[in-house]
């Protein structure tokens, strides 16, 4: 297999002889591994920026009353925390994984469009910088929630057009990244790598990329309407001119619901990749996983109004969106069943990536169940805009999407760096995170059911106890993530010193092409397509 990778052939456009020297390498690089690293490092940085905002939120909510920040700034924090985490941390982290892994998983020498790849990364940086700059503007950064509902959002100060242009940049960046991923998967697969032999991570990203191309332009349209309403006298959402703010909610959630799946489908792919390796079994029901992912993606386009059951829809609308939403539980259930069946009677070992993946399955299912509760339109009137929904989507995003990213990090770090991470600290990181994330979010279910509204800096004293517990969990969770930062840096600098093999994990080379490459892989890989396609994962 080393014969496959030893050749550095020279018809690759820019740098046939390895990376450019110095810092400029990272600016001009078109190499999928470099760009993957850029995305991952950037998203990790944003994870801590967004996390710091979450710490401000939890500190303020530690006790009733106003202690640390003004309500306006508090609302800025909830808004910016969401935007930074969604567009700056989770999405770019998955794009980073896609950049690193998709070419190596399908036996391609690089992404199909390397220059566009570079551009989409730097547009992301520009977009997030523009968004972050609003924190220092007159009137503060956007504080109307990440959903940016008018008319509230239109009361934003000087920051409004900047936030909107930031969304435009992030959207263009995502669309370019998605086009690149689709082109890579369609046109760059090694001979013999048929669609139904692709690792599930590749499949889930293919479907995610299609979702992104379909929804990001709709979001761009919605915020453009906000912009013209505010500055150019249109009345899309302006009631005084015959518009309707509820229209915005429809357009936003047409984007917003598929968007939340954009953050979870690649996580499904990561989990489906990791569990078979540590259960030492093929993935149970490979093709049903592919179809389930596609079904979830399709359903995501026709359920959006379940986010707005309380706007006063006709009863027929409520019923339709209720039943359509419940349907999503079926393909999702298929997935959870398959992961469980993969582990069934497997020779399991519990290294850190596996621990995070198992926690993903358990805790994502809990987030899914509360989602099912909220899909029931009449009950949703109680849950709407309370901490119950905050608990729900944080269960699907933190111990699900973020845990799968952690799992992916631990799983592929030895491959990327050639060094083994410190397993003891990794496990400590896992247990601290898994316990504290539940202390953080589980009590929020109780708060929501008792009626505590979301997006408020102060609350009635009856909510004090659970909020304090939730905040304590939040602080432990936040602090635990510093362990991850330490492990990543430590591993890059040599880790345990243990020499890792090409396959790193026992028999991993049967599960994916990336494990047939040296660790770390050379700058250019698969310039000649691989001879054998592993099939253990299907």
Partner 1 sequence: MNNDTQQKNTRLIRILVLVAVAMFGFGYAMVPLYDVMCEVVFKKEKPGIPVVDEAVSYKVNKNREITVEFMTTVNKAAPMVFRSETKKLKIHPGQYYTVNFYAENKTDKVMVAQAIPGISPGPAAEYFKKTECFCFTEQTFKAREGRTMPVRFVVNPEIPEQYKTITLAYTFFDNTETSVKK
Residue 112 interacting with partner 1 (CB under 8 A): yes
Location of structure tokens 């700058």: 523
Q: Does 183 bind partner 1 (CB under 8 A)?
A: yes
How many Cβ atoms from other residues are within 10 Å of residue 137's Cβ?
Answer: 16
Tokens 């794009």 -> residue: 95
Answer yes or no whether residue 296 interacts with partner 1 by CB under 8 A: no
Q: Give per-residue burial for 226-248: e unless 16+ CB within 10 Å, then b.
A: bbebbeeebebbbeeeebebeeb
Helices 329-343 and 286-299, axial angle in degrees (round to 10) = 150
Q: Residues 68, 186, 291, 323: which binds partner 1 (CB under 8 A)?
A: 186
CA dihedral over 259, 263, 269, 271, signed as positive or negative:
negative
Q: Is 110 assigned a catalytic role?
A: yes
Q: Which of 30, 174, 184, 325 is catalytic?
A: 174
229 binds partner 1 (CB under 8 A): no
Q: What is the DSSP string of 390-437?
A: HHHHHHHIIIIIIHHHHHHHHHHHHHHHSB---HHHHHHHHHHHHHHH
- Choose, by CB under 8 A, the member of 41, 302, 313, 329 that binds partner 1: 313
Contact between 204 and partner 1 by CB under 8 A: the answer reads no
Angle at which helices 423-449 and 387-396 cross, to 10°: 150
Q: How far is the CB of 15 from partner 1 (least distance, A)?
A: 15
Of 261, 387, 466, 515, the catalytic one is: 261
User: Residues near 313 by Cβ (< 8 Å), separated by ≥ 6?
Assistant: 305, 321
From the candidates 307, 384, 392, 419, give the one annotated as an active-site residue: 307
Q: What is the rounded distance in angstroms from the CA atom of residue 203 to the CA atom of residue 208?
A: 9
Tell me which H or E stretch contains 445: helix 423-449
Residues 6+ apart with CB under 8 A from 344: 284
CB of residue 159 vs partner 1: minimum separation in angstroms?
14
Among residues 34, 60, 229, 238, which is the contact residue for partner 1, using CB under 8 A? 238
Q: Does 251 bind partner 1 (CB under 8 A)?
A: yes
Find the catalytic residue in 34, 110, 238, 502. Answer: 110
Q: Does 102 bind partner 1 (CB under 8 A)?
A: no
The reply to whether 259 belongs to the active site is: yes
Q: How far apart are CA 430 and CA 436, in angstroms?
A: 10
Does the protein bind partner 1 through residue 155 (CB under 8 A)?
yes
Considering the rule CB under 8 A, would residue 220 count as an interface residue with partner 1?
A: yes
Structure tokens at 442: 């589980």
Asked if 485 interacts with partner 1 (CB under 8 A), we say: no
For 368, half-sphere exposure in the C-beta direction (CA atoms, 13 angstrom radius) is 22
Q: What's the rounded Cα separation, in Å, for the pair 43 and 58?
A: 22
Stretch that binds partner 1, among 216-224, 265-273, 362-370, 508-516 (CB under 8 A): 216-224
- Binding-residue total with partner 1 (CB under 8 A): 39
Q: For partner 1, which is the closer residue by CB, 305 or 408? A: 305
Out of 23, 136, 138, 187, the only residue in the binding site for partner 1 (CB under 8 A) is: 187
> Is 238 or 514 the residue whose CB approaches partner 1 more closely?
238
Nearer to partner 1, 209 or 402 (CB): 209
* Cα–Cα distance for residue pair 385/255, rounded to 1 Å: 19
- Decide if residue 145 touches partner 1 (CB under 8 A): no
The residues in 252-281 that bind partner 1, with binding defined as CB under 8 A, are: 254
Active site residue 335: yes
Extract the tokens encoding 230.
């505010």
Choice between 234 and 438, CB closer to partner 1: 234
**From candidates 77, 167, 222, 279, binder to partner 1 by CB under 8 A:** 222
To the query of whether residue 238 is one of the catalytic residues in this protein, the response is no
Contact status: 148 vs partner 1 (CB under 8 A): no
Region binding partner 1 by CB under 8 A among candidate stretches 106-114, 338-346, 482-490, 507-515: 106-114
Could you confirm whether 365 is annotated as catalytic? no
Tokens of 460: 């009635």
Which of 281, 335, 429, 509 does the annotation list as catalytic?
A: 335
Q: Is 257 a catalytic residue?
A: yes
User: Among residues 22, 314, 378, 497, which is the contact residue for partner 1, using CB under 8 A?
Assistant: 314
174 noted as active-site residue: yes
Contact 348, 312 (CB under 8 A): no
Instruction: Work out whether the CA dihedral 488, 489, 491, 495 comes out positive or negative.
Output: negative
Q: How far apart are CA 423 and CA 500, in angstroms?
A: 13
Task: Give yes or no: 205 in active site.
Answer: no
Does 332 qualify as catalytic in the annotation?
yes
Omega before 151 within 30 of 0, i.e. cis: yes
The CA distance from 441 to 432, in Å, is 14
146 catalytic residue (yes or no)? yes
Name 262's Cβ contacts closer than 8 Å, sequence gap at least 6: 91, 208, 211, 212, 215
Using the contact rule CB under 8 A, the part of the chain among 47-55, 241-249, 339-347, 435-443 near partner 1 is: 241-249
Question: What's the rounded Cα separation, in Å, for the pair 452 and 384?
Answer: 10
Is 304 one of the binding residues for partner 1 (CB under 8 A)?
A: no
**Which residues 6+ apart lie within 8 Å of 378 measured at CB?**
none
Catalytic, out of 12, 25, 280, 454: 454
Residues 276-295 that bind partner 1 (CB under 8 A): none
Answer yes or no: 454 catalytic.
yes
Report, in Å, the least distance between residue 220 CB and partner 1.
Answer: 6
Active-site residue among 43, 60, 141, 146? Answer: 146
Residue 119 binds partner 1, judged by CB under 8 A: no
CB of 142 or CB of 409, closer to partner 1: 142
Q: How far is the CB of 253 from partner 1 (least distance, A)?
A: 11
Catalytic amino acids? 81, 110, 146, 173-174, 257, 259, 261, 272, 306-307, 332, 335, 454
Residue numbers at the binding site for partner 1 (CB under 8 A)? 11, 109, 112-113, 151, 155, 175, 178-179, 182-183, 186-188, 213-222, 225, 236, 238-241, 244, 246-247, 250-251, 254, 312-314
């Amino acid at each position: 297999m080393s014969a496959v990778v030893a050749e550095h052939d020279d018809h690759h456009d820019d740098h046939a002889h390895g990376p450019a020297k110095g810092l400029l390498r990272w600016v001009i690089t078109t190499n999928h591994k470099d760009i993957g690293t850029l995305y991952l490092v950037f998203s990790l940085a944003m994870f801590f920026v967004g996390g710091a905002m979450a710490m401000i939120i939890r500190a303020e909510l530690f006790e009733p009353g106003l202690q640390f920040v003004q309500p306006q700034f508090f609302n800025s924090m909830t808004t910016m925390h969401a935007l930074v985490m969604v567009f700056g941390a989770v999405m770019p982290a998955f794009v980073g994984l896609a950049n690193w892994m998709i070419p190596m998983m399908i036996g391609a020498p690089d992404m199909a469009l390397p220059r566009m790849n570079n551009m989409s990364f730097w547009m992301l940086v520009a977009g997030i910088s523009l968004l972050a700059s609003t924190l220092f503007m007159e009137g503060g950064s956007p504080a109307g929630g990440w959903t940016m509902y008018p008319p509230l959002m239109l009361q934003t100060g000087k920051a409004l057009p900047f936030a909107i242009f930031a969304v435009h940049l992030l959207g263009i960046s995502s669309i370019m990244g998605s086009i690149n991923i689709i082109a890579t998967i369609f046109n760059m697969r090694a001979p013999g790598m048929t669609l139904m032999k692709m690792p599930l991570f590749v499949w889930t990203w293919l479907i995610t990329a299609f979702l992104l191309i379909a929804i990001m332009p709709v979001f761009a349209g919605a915020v453009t309407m906000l912009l013209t309403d505010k500055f150019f006298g249109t009345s899309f959402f302006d009631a005084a001119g015959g518009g309707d703010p509820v229209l915005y909610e429809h357009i936003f959630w047409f984007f917003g619901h598929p968007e939340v799946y954009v953050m979870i489908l690649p996580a499904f792919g990561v989990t489906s990749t990791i569990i078979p390796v540590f259960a030492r079994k093929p993935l149970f029901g490979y093709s049903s996983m592919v179809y389930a992912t596609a079904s979830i993606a399709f359903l995501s386009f026709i359920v959006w109004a379940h986010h707005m059951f309380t706007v006063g829809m006709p009863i027929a609308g409520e019923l339709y969106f209720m039943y359509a939403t419940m349907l999503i539980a079926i393909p999702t259930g298929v997935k959870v069943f398959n992961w469980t069946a993969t582990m069934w009677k497997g020779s399991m070992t519990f290294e850190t990536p596996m621990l995070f993946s198992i926690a993903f399955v358990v805790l994502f299912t809990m987030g899914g169940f509360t989602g099912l509760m909220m899909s029931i339109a009449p009950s949703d009137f109680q849950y709407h805009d309370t901490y119950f929904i905050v608990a729900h989507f944080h269960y699907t995003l933190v111990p699900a999407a973020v845990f799968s990213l952690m799992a992916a990090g631990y799983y592929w770090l030895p491959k990327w760096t050639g060094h083994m991470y410190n397993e003891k600290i990794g496990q400590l990181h896992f247990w601290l995170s898994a316990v504290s994330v539940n202390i953080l979010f589980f009590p929020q279910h109780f708060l929501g059911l008792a009626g505590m509204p979301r997006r408020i800096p102060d609350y009635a004293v009856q909510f004090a106890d659970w909020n304090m517990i939730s905040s304590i969990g939040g602080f432990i969770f936040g602090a635990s993530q510093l362990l991850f930062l330490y492990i990543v840096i430590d591993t890059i600098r040599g880790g345990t010193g243990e020499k890792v093999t090409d396959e790193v994990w026992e028999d991993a080379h049967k599960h994916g092409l990336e494990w047939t490459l040296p660790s770390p892989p050379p700058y250019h890989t698969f310039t000649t397509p691989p001879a054998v396609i592993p099939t253990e994962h299907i």
